[in-house]
Chains A and B, each alone.
Chain A
Amino acid sequence: MNLENMYQEIILDHYKHPHGKGLKDDFAAEVHHVNPTCGDEITLRITPNADGTLTVSYDNQGCSISQASASILFDQINNVSLEQGTEAVDHLIAMLQRTEEPNEDILGDGIALIGVAQYPARVKCALLSWMAWKDAAIQATGKGE
């Protein structure tokens, strides 16, 4: 069944046991993103560190894909620089649009999200937390356009 490509064991694991869920009290930027068609929500906070890395914390509710994706985000881009995190977000988008091959060095478990690409309605779920991270990271570092 195709579905098993989307709901791989790794994804279901992240969904059932999310990494890093829970908000930190100190933060420089906080964003709240929703997927208005299905009601998935995430609150995400960013704290810049002296070495230029960004600490992320989040709380969310939503479907397995959006929850797993946020957990993977925490694994991959907590405490990295704006540039490194942005590269990961851009690669995830490109992978889901099938314009780039999955790169495990960048996305780690996130390459398992490739199965989502065949269900256009779910791409938004997979991207919700990553878009929230990008938004908050830009605000926290004052590096907006």
Chain B
Amino acid sequence: MAQLDVAKIRADFPIFDRTVRNDRRLVYLDSGATSQKPRQVLDAERNFYERHNAAVHRGAHQLAEEATDLFEAARATIAQFIGAQPDDIVFTKNATEALNLVSYSFLNATIKSARGKALPEGASRFVLAEGDEIVVTEMEHHANLVPWQELCDKTGAVLKWIGLTDDGRLDLNSIEFTARTKVVALTHQSNLLGTINDIPAVSAMARAVGALIVLDACQSIPHMPVDVTELDVDFIAWSGHKMLGPLGIGCLWGRAELLASMPPFITGGSMIETVHMESSTFAAPPKRFEAGVPMAAQAVGLAAAIDYLNDLGMDNVAAHEHRLTQLALDELAKLPGVRVIGPLVATDRGSAVSFVVDGLHPHDVGQILDEHGVAVRVGHHCAWPVCRRYSVPATTRATFYVYNDESDVQALVDGIKAAQKFFGVGE
């Protein structure tokens, strides 16, 4: 395995050319929220606009042809990255929309079925009845929780969840799946705790009762090799902007036969087969789920991000982050009054490191860190129930990525010490 050359990587990211707050070096530890973008991605997007800009899948001219080719080539690059077929990748605005696409498929199939309307073949898997169960976990990002709560509210299905152990892992004994369990939706890696979940164990439980499995891979696909042929799941949702790609693009991967049996979510142009005044029929996936002129430049940018990550090697990326995570956990453990929320060991754990500082609110910790040029996130990180579970109002979170190194961990540690000193706590 090759070590990442962080200095060389940083040189690819224009943002590191600037300083923050009183001319400090930028120590960017907020990639869990969104990653920075290398020049290669920015160039790819710019090149699309400068040379090939047109509305894809429309127009009889050369530019439209080129734009369409680039867009579909991007889809193929992205598919290959996770071992999938291009037609099984749907472009969305972000992971949130991708997860809603799935939850709304259930809602729309349920409503249409109740009204005796035509549905694609196989859509009965998406029809919910009162008392059916949807299972999530207590560590979900709101994006993989609220849509399911809403679906339950509208259909009479019941929301259940897998609880958490004190050390930040899923407690698989906290729940039993039943014949009524129709969906199990869970995160691959927690954005707050850093926990990497045992997906094979959960899918085995879900398969035993015939439930569909929806994986939120927002915090895994950017950070480690993920292969759909090895994961026994039905849907995978993630965002491009957390993996060096542009804002405004996310992906949903789905099993081909399931995508084919789903009614559309957002409707309009591009997603149709025929349209009459009374009614319409719909295109095959992925187009059925891509209404309107799509975000072609962002798709091209995301493909460039994937090329960049492939050049680094996802095994190397994972190993690099693992080392930094280990170092951060070791260093934070040495600080009096600092407590990590989440697994204290780097095994089966990603680089999201959340912590609380005795006597200090995360907002104040974040403010002092910011003054030192260290960018972290504070708050509940869109996972409020996790904070409740561990009885903290909020946390400070550092996340590490390809452009971070040991000096960034040290800057974090120094910043926390400075915060303790400033507020007179921690001695």
CA distance A61 to B367 in the complex (A): 17
CA distance A4 to B361 in the complex (A): 17
The listed residue (B22, B367, B393) touching A39 by CB distance below 8 A is: B393
The listed residue (A38, A67, A119) touching B362 by CB distance below 8 A is: A38
Cβ contacts B211-233/A at 8 Å (1 or 0 each) = 00000000000000000000000
A39 x B423 contact (CB < 8 A): no
Which residue of chain A is the closest to B360 with respect to CB atoms?
Answer: A64
| Interface check B371, CB cutoff 8 A | yes
| Interface check A2, CB cutoff 8 A | yes
Cβ contacts B348-384/A at 8 Å (1 or 0 each) = 0000000000000111100110010000001110001
CA distance A108 to B394 in the complex (A): 30
Which of chain A's residues have a CB closer than 8 A to the CB of B362?
38, 63
| Interface check A27, CB cutoff 8 A | no
Which residue of chain B is the closest to A38 with respect to CB atoms?
Answer: B379
Cβ contacts A113-137/B at 8 Å (1 or 0 each) = 0000001001001000000000000
| Interface check A12, CB cutoff 8 A | yes
Q: Smallest CB–CB gap between B385 and chain A, Å?
A: 12
| Interface check A50, CB cutoff 8 A | no
B363 x A38 contact (CB < 8 A): yes
Total interface residues in chain B, CB < 8 Å: 18
| Interface check A20, CB cutoff 8 A | no
The listed residue (A3, A37, A41) touching B367 by CB distance below 8 A is: A3
| Interface check A72, CB cutoff 8 A | no
Interface residue ranges of B129-177 to A (CB < 8 Å): none
| Interface check A65, CB cutoff 8 A | yes
| Interface check B387, CB cutoff 8 A | yes
A38 x B394 contact (CB < 8 A): yes
B363 x A122 contact (CB < 8 A): yes
A12 x B423 contact (CB < 8 A): yes
The listed residue (A1, A3, A62) touching B363 by CB distance below 8 A is: A62
CA distance A37 to B394 in the complex (A): 10
Q: Count A-B contacts at CB 8 Å.
A: 48
Total interface residues in chain A, CB < 8 Å: 20
Q: Smallest CB–CB gap between B24 and chain A, Å?
A: 11
Which of chain A's residues have a CB closer than 8 A to the CB of B367?
3, 6, 119, 122
CA distance A28 to B393 in the complex (A): 28
Which of chain A's residues have a CB closer than 8 A to the CB of B364?
7, 63-65
Interface residue ranges of A48-100 to B (CB < 8 Å): 61-65, 67
CA distance A64 to B419 in the complex (A): 13
B371 x A39 contact (CB < 8 A): no
CA distance A88 to B367 in the complex (A): 27
Contacts A2-B22, A38-B380 given: A65-B363 contact, CB under 8 Å?
yes
CA distance A127 to B423 in the complex (A): 22
CA distance A40 to B387 in the complex (A): 12
Which residue of chain B is the closest to A125 with respect to CB atoms?
Answer: B363
Which of chain B's residues have a CB closer than 8 A to the CB of A64?
361, 363-364, 423
CA distance A77 to B414 in the complex (A): 40
Which of chain B's residues have a CB closer than 8 A to the CB of A65?
363-364
Which of chain B's residues have a CB closer than 8 A to the CB of A122?
363, 367
Which of chain B's residues have a CB closer than 8 A to the CB of A38?
362-363, 378-380, 394
The listed residue (A1, A7, A37, A61) touching B393 by CB distance below 8 A is: A61
Q: Smallest CB–CB gap between A14 and chain B, Å?
A: 13
Which residue of chain B is the closest to A119 with respect to CB atoms?
Answer: B367
Contacts A38-B378, A39-B380, A39-B393 given: A62-B361 contact, CB under 8 Å?
yes
Q: Smallest CB–CB gap between A10 and chain B, Å?
A: 15
CA distance A72 to B21 in the complex (A): 29
A39 x B422 contact (CB < 8 A): no
Which of chain B's residues have a CB closer than 8 A to the CB of A61?
393
CA distance A9 to B305 in the complex (A): 47
A41 x B393 contact (CB < 8 A): yes
Cβ contacts B389-426/A at 8 Å (1 or 0 each) = 00001100000000000000000000000000011000
Cβ contacts A16-48/B at 8 Å (1 or 0 each) = 000000000000000000000111110000000
CA distance A3 to B394 in the complex (A): 22
The listed residue (A7, A39, A67) touching B379 by CB distance below 8 A is: A39
Which of chain A's residues have a CB closer than 8 A to the CB of B368?
3
Identify which of A6, A12, A39 gathers the most chain B CB atoms within 10 Å of its CB. A39
Which of chain B's residues have a CB closer than 8 A to the CB of A67?
361
What would 15 more interface pairs be, CB under 8 Å, given A38-B380, A39-B379?
Answer: A1-B371, A2-B21, A6-B367, A38-B379, A38-B394, A39-B394, A40-B393, A41-B393, A62-B363, A63-B363, A63-B364, A64-B364, A65-B363, A67-B361, A119-B367
25 contacts between A and B (CB under 8 A): A1-B371, A3-B367, A3-B422, A6-B367, A7-B364, A7-B422, A12-B423, A37-B379, A38-B362, A38-B378, A38-B394, A39-B379, A39-B380, A39-B384, A39-B387, A39-B393, A40-B393, A41-B393, A61-B393, A62-B363, A63-B361, A63-B363, A64-B423, A65-B364, A119-B367
Residues of B within 8 A of A (CB): 21-22, 361-364, 367-368, 371, 378-380, 384, 387, 393-394, 422-423
* Interface pairs A-B: 3 shortest CB-CB: A63-B363, A63-B361, A38-B379
